[in-house]
Structure 1
Amino acid sequence: MTATGPLPSVASVLDAIAASRVLVTMWRPVVDIQLHVAAIPSLGEKVLSQSVQITPGGVDGNYAASMGSIGANVTVVGSDSNDGIGKADPENLREHGVTVRLDTASAGPATVCYVLIDRNGERSVIVAYPKDGSRVAEGVARGVRQVAADAWDLCYLGVLRAAHQEVISLLPPAAIVVATVEVSDWQGSWLEQSAHALNIVFCAEETFAAHAATLQGLQKRHRWTLVVTSGAKGSRIIDEDGVITDVAASHLDGPVVDTTGAGDAFASAFSAAYLLGLRGGGLLRVANWYAAKKIQVLGPRNFPLAIKFAQVIVEETQSKVRKP
């Protein structure tokens, strides 16, 4: 799907996406408990919840569900949960066409995110991580070993953690390796040790602002594609050659319903478009469009239809070809 090749059709894009094999490492199933309140409480303040909603969540799970909705062939490996609340995550992934292979030998408590949402949509998040991180890492590594010999086009690690060290050493060398880095879970020196294995790195604006020198230095040294997202302000890509492209956020043609998982939807759409051959600003335009559509659809894991995504890929490719 390049300017020198035949223009794609919606059918050919859908076929290409379906042929893409994507591996996602998920640590433990994640559940979001959304508490809708009149205002985010201050320290020591007690507030009444107006409604409570329990949904599957997590960066890696949201990404996998979105890639499955786009139409990719997605497999998730990780450590299983042994509590009832965690079952919602893998069940939801299967509903999105994702193959789920969770390690039962390392099973333990799910990750629970308590999300307070006020009437203006502002959020405050408290995350209860499992306390058995070494068991989780062992389970993820076992899962990756079981599928490492298979052919994978792309491997998404989710939020990069030090425990990914063994996982990265097991990944097939031909795969595009993608990860997200977060300021709240910054890995510092280990990120530098693992940087050579990464191809695409996502980070939010606040993470880039806090660690710009480190991220730019690693990007230049290891020729990453570094993607910085800034929500409603748009996004930036620094490609493997150091070329910087900024793209404004897509226009919203309807009200914002739920922003949960919008960044993960952005990352999945970017990854799918990358596998399809788009580069530069085209990647950001497709990903921005997908994220904009996602936040106007009720529910953290409801996404635009795959056929609409394919249509946008076709339009972006044809637009690039027609430019003088």
Structure 2
Amino acid sequence: MTRVLCAGHVNWDVTLRVDSLPAPDGEAAITGQTHAGGGSASNTAVTMESLGVDSALLGSVGEDDYGRLAREELTAAGVDCSHLQRTIGETTVKYLVVDDRGEVMVLANDGVNESFRAADAPDSLLDSVDHVHLTSQRLETAEMLAERARDAGATVSFAPGRRLDERDYRSVAATADYLFLNEREAETAAEEGLLAAGDGVTVITRGEDGGEVRASSRRTHSGYDVEPVDTTGAGDAFAAGFLAAVLNGEDDDDALAVANAAGALAAKSIGARTHVSWADIEDLRE
């Protein structure tokens, strides 16, 4: 069975449903509230596991109730959490404010989600995986994990996320076989020289407008017409769908269609973690 290591953020999310996102000095009515796990690495691992890809997770949580809940939820989803570090401090909590169109505003504490290090992944773990998916994390951790993954013969993907404009990730992007970005991140990446840093494939999600693959040529997919409920984690599901398809032997065009389907299905449900089946994806594609 194909095995993937996802490395990066593991959070606990508090999602507040509101009638509208408030303007400065404004107010909105809370129409619902949920608590569940989040964080790009763990979100991706859960979706990949639901698509039949054996997934392990490298990250860090605090020795608190939120950390315990996150670990229990991930383990119940089938994710291998034996390398999820527990450290002194608070699990990162994100407060997600979601309006009735599915648009999201995020508030977060610092927490310990970047306390893990590349050394926390033993050689035996990297030798056992076919692919390493890196999400937002300390630069030095990402660089070392990418290098060690290459040495172990694994392919590498990278989804740098919102902190792309704060960290010089060019060396990691140059190592990656696949670079995942949203439209805003793609603009920043172009300005920072990340898109020219390596010879890999760049995959861009465009939300309701689908996605794009950039390699030797550009290919697009217009996506699927769904009514969004919560776009939190849709980009992580998009990356998980793409990687699951590629690792299953699909070409980049079919993988892009699968990615768009996974992202669309994620946007139809509340919360950052999405359980998707191949039957769900095929139904939407048809």
| Fold in common (TM above 0.5) | yes
- Specify the SS of the correspondent of 1:99: coil
Identity %: 25
Larger Rg: 1
User: Is the Cα–Cα contact under 8 Å of residues 162 and 187 in structure 1 kept in the other structure?
Assistant: no
Counterpart residue type for residue 43 of structure 1: P
CA change 1:132–1:34 in 2 (3 A) is closer
Gap runs ≥5 in structure 2? none
Q: Deviations 1:206-248 (Å, cap 9, x if unpaired)?
A: 1112332513312xxx211101111011111012xx2111111
How many pairs align? 281
For residues 241 and 190 of structure 2, what CA distance do their matches in structure 1 show?
24
Show the counterpart of 1:23: 5
Show the counterpart of 1:7: none
For residues 119 and 132 of structure 1, what CA distance do their matches in structure 2 show?
29
- Specify the SS of the correspondent of 2:67: helix
CA change 1:238–1:120 in 2 (3 A) is closer
For residues 241 and 94 of structure 2, what CA distance do their matches in structure 1 show?
24
CA change 1:298–1:183 in 2 (3 A) is closer
- Specify the SS of the correspondent of 1:100: coil
For residues 184 and 202 of structure 2, what CA distance do their matches in structure 1 show?
14
- Specify the SS of the correspondent of 1:260: coil
- Specify the SS of the correspondent of 1:109: coil
For residues 148 and 62 of structure 2, what CA distance do their matches in structure 1 show?
23
Gap runs ≥5 in structure 1? 1-18, 317-324
Show the counterpart of 2:106: 125
For residues 277 and 67 of structure 2, what CA distance do their matches in structure 1 show?
27
For residues 243 and 60 of structure 1, what CA distance do their matches in structure 2 show?
29
For residues 117 and 76 of structure 2, what CA distance do their matches in structure 1 show?
22
Using the size of structure 2 for normalisation, the TM-score is: 0.87
Show the counterpart of 1:321: none
User: Is the Cα–Cα contact under 8 Å of residues 250 and 285 in structure 1 kept in the other structure?
Assistant: no
Match of 2:75 among 82, 91, 94: 94
Show the counterpart of 1:61: 42
Residue 73 in 1 paired to residue 45 in 2? no
- Specify the SS of the correspondent of 2:23: coil
Match of 2:219 among 239, 245, 259: 245
Q: Deviations 1:100-126 (Å, cap 9, x if unpaired)?
A: 02223x343111111112233332111
Show the counterpart of 1:288: 260
Residue 195 in 1 paired to residue 177 in 2? no
Segments of 4+ moved more than 6 angstroms: none
Q: Deviations 1:148-203 (Å, cap 9, x if unpaired)?
A: 45231110111254132333333253111111123444355x32233332111100
Using the size of structure 1 for normalisation, the TM-score is: 0.78
User: Is the Cα–Cα contact under 8 Å of residues 25 and 140 in structure 1 kept in the other structure?
Assistant: no
- List aligned pairs for 1:1-324, cutoff 5 A: 19-27=1-9, 29-101=10-82, 102-104=84-86, 106-130=87-111, 133=114, 136=115, 139-145=116-122, 147-159=124-136, 161-163=138-140, 164-173=142-151, 174-188=153-167, 190-213=168-191, 214-218=193-197, 222-239=198-215, 242-252=216-226, 255-297=227-269, 299-309=271-281
User: Is the Cα–Cα contact under 8 Å of residues 110 and 130 in structure 1 kept in the other structure?
Assistant: yes
For residues 273 and 132 of structure 1, what CA distance do their matches in structure 2 show?
28
